[in-house]
Amino acid sequence: MSATAIALVAAFGGLLLFGVPIAFCLGLAAAIGLWVADVPQVVLAQRVISGTQIFTLLAIPGFVLTGDLMMRGGLSRRLIRVGQALVGHITGGLGMVTVVSATFFAAISGSAPATTAAVGQIMIPEMERHGYGRGFATALATASGPIGQMIPPSIPMVIWGVVSEQSISELFLAGVVPGLLIAAAFMVACAVAARRMDVPRASARATRRELGAALWDGKWALAAPVLILGGIYGGVFTPTEAAAVGVFYGLAVGLLVHREIGVADLYGIVLGAMRTTAIICLIIATAAAFGWLVASERVPAALAAAVLSVSDSPVVILLLLNVTLLFIGAIMDNIAAMIILGSVLTGLGAQLGLDPIHLGAIVVINFAIGMATPPFGYSLFVGSAISGLSIERISLSIWPLLLVQLAVLIAITFVPALTLALPSLLR
């Protein structure tokens, strides 16, 4: 590698080890790389600005605000009641309610931390009260949260669509089957865990009247993904426009229907969404400058050649790719990782003959699993904050759920139809 590439990688790694926030790691490393390459620093400002001048990125603040509005508006609580009526009577049913609720909420928020927080705050104490260990309850909420990155609308899918220049609508569809497979596998794990811990059934089977009442009370929550996704795939609006529709829907339901949000609450909700959006966009901006310099030094081509030189077998290369992405997802911000590695991964996928949509699903799902992978997965910190348990305690309980996710990951890696069946219908 050139002196510039070495300086770039060394600066980024050193800053990261010293605990510097990821956005500043990227920006400072890019500035150092430009200095070593004797390129004017004004290029850094130009690349930072150009990295955010992408229309599709407007979907991010919209989906972030939509998730916050719907969580504060009581939709998460109503989704949990629907889940309780559907599967609460089954052995392990309360754990299954957590999974079902997380899957529903994922289709609203598109965010792993938001899903973990919204569902975990309600379900962790409830599961513990019914005999589940607090460690397992927290691990389940933590592992279920990243389903929000698979089920559309998924913010990481939007980012990958921008980075790889692929259809966001097709990427959304590519995550549906893997997300549902992981949810189903988690429900089986709940049944096994409940029998092992001798947890009694949480409730009797809901009557038709009770089920109908729960569905009716949760109708506005259940309608949200239908409205957003139906509008996208029905050609009514684009994914970016869908984010705006979601905001107006969340406002209408919270203010006028459930009336759990007051006008005075909007300032705090919008401010929180703005903070989240600002963090994401700062990472995107600095990562764009970093990524441009990495690409100009031909680092992606060198890394792709190094990976391909390990073996001639596509199976070995794909396994190595998954291991690498899981490790990166567990120690690094997903959005920054996708932007930095985008050119490397798309080039590697092309050489392996992977469908770009299939590759996108593999990347996003790897990073989603990494969100709950010890020791640095971001969802672990959210789970720890809402449960009061240490990261070590949660890590001891989460490993069986991680094995389940890894099994699904291997399946979607080597059976492309699991991710491409729905996008092919759209095509």
Residue 91, judged by CB atoms within 10 A of its CB (0-12, 13-18, 19+), counts as middle
**What is the predicted pLDDT for the residue at 305?**
66
**What is the predicted pLDDT for the residue at 44?**
81
Q: Which residue did the predictor score with more confidence, 356 or 338?
A: 356
- Euclidean distance between CA atoms 348 and 386, whole angstroms: 39
Supply the mean pLDDT for the chain: 79
**What is the predicted pLDDT for the residue at 398?**
87
Q: How far is CA 275 from the centre of its chain?
A: 18
Measuring CA to CA, which residue among 221, 240, 176 is closest to residue 67?
A: 221
**Per-residue pLDDT averaged across 151-159, rounded?**
79
**Per-residue pLDDT averaged across 108-123, rounded?**
70
Cβ–Cβ contacts within 10 Å for residue 387, how many?
A: 22
Q: How far is CA 344 from the centre of its chain?
A: 21
Q: Residue 99 contacts by C-beta under 8 Å, 6 or more apart in sequence?
A: 140, 144, 183, 186, 187, 190
**What is the predicted pLDDT for the residue at 410?**
92
**What is the predicted pLDDT for the residue at 52?**
73
Helices H / strands E in the chain, number of each: 22, 0
Measuring CA to CA, which residue among 229, 164, 224, 227 is closest to residue 361?
A: 164
**Per-residue pLDDT averaged across 396-413, rounded?**
88
- Euclidean distance between CA atoms 217 and 145, whole angstroms: 24
pLDDT at 59 over 80: no
DSSP string of 97-135, one letter each residue: HHHHHHHHHHHHH--HHHHHHHHHHHHHHHHHHTT--HH
**What is the predicted pLDDT for the residue at 47?**
80
C-beta separation of 61 from 244 below 8 A: no
**Per-residue pLDDT averaged across 168-188, rounded?**
88
- Euclidean distance between CA atoms 268 and 291, whole angstroms: 34
User: Could you state, in order of their start, the residue ranges of all structural domains in the chain?
Assistant: 1-50+277-296, 51-261+297-426
Measuring CA to CA, which residue among 91, 100, 303, 316 is closest to residue 191?
A: 91
Tens of pLDDT, residues 285-341: 787 787 777 767 766 566 666 666 777 778 888 888 888 888 777 766 677 778 777
**What is the predicted pLDDT for the residue at 308?**
66
Tens of pLDDT, residues 1-54: 577 778 877 887 788 778 777 778 888 888 888 888 777 878 888 888 877 776
**What is the predicted pLDDT for the residue at 302?**
66
Tens of pLDDT, residues 267-283: 888 888 888 778 767 77
**What is the predicted pLDDT for the residue at 36?**
83
Q: List the structure tokens of 186.
A: 């988690």
Measuring CA to CA, which residue among 123, 122, 121, 112 is closest to residue 64?
A: 112
C-beta separation of 123 from 105 below 8 A: no
Q: List the structure tokens of 408.
A: 């699904």
pLDDT at 107 over 70: no
12-15 contacts, C-beta under 8 A, 24 or more apart: 12/290
**Per-residue pLDDT averaged across 389-407, rounded?**
84
Task: Please work out, in degrees rounded to the nearest 5, the angle formed at the alpha carbon of residue 201 by the alpha carbons of 196 and 205.
Answer: 145
Across 54-63, b (16+ Cβ under 10 Å) vs e yields eeebebbbbb
Q: Which residue did the predictor score with more confidence, 13 or 361?
A: 361
Q: Specify which of 70-79, 231-240, 273-282, 408-417 reaches the highest per-range mean pLDDT.
A: 408-417
C-beta separation of 133 from 197 below 8 A: yes
Which residue bears the tokens 């990243």? 146
C-beta separation of 157 from 175 below 8 A: yes
Residue 426, judged by CB atoms within 10 A of its CB (0-12, 13-18, 19+), counts as middle
Q: Specify which of 83-92, 195-204, 227-236, 244-253 reaches the highest per-range mean pLDDT.
A: 244-253
Q: Which residue did the predictor score with more confidence, 161 or 111?
A: 161
153 preceded by cis ω (within 30°)? yes
C-beta separation of 82 from 218 below 8 A: yes
Q: Which residue did the predictor score with more confidence, 372 or 377?
A: 372
Measuring CA to CA, which residue among 269, 276, 223, 268 is closest to residue 245?
A: 223
Range in 120-134, 206-220, 267-281, 286-300 with the lowest mean pLDDT: 286-300
Tens of pLDDT, residues 224-270: 777 877 777 677 777 778 778 888 888 888 888 888 888 888 888 88
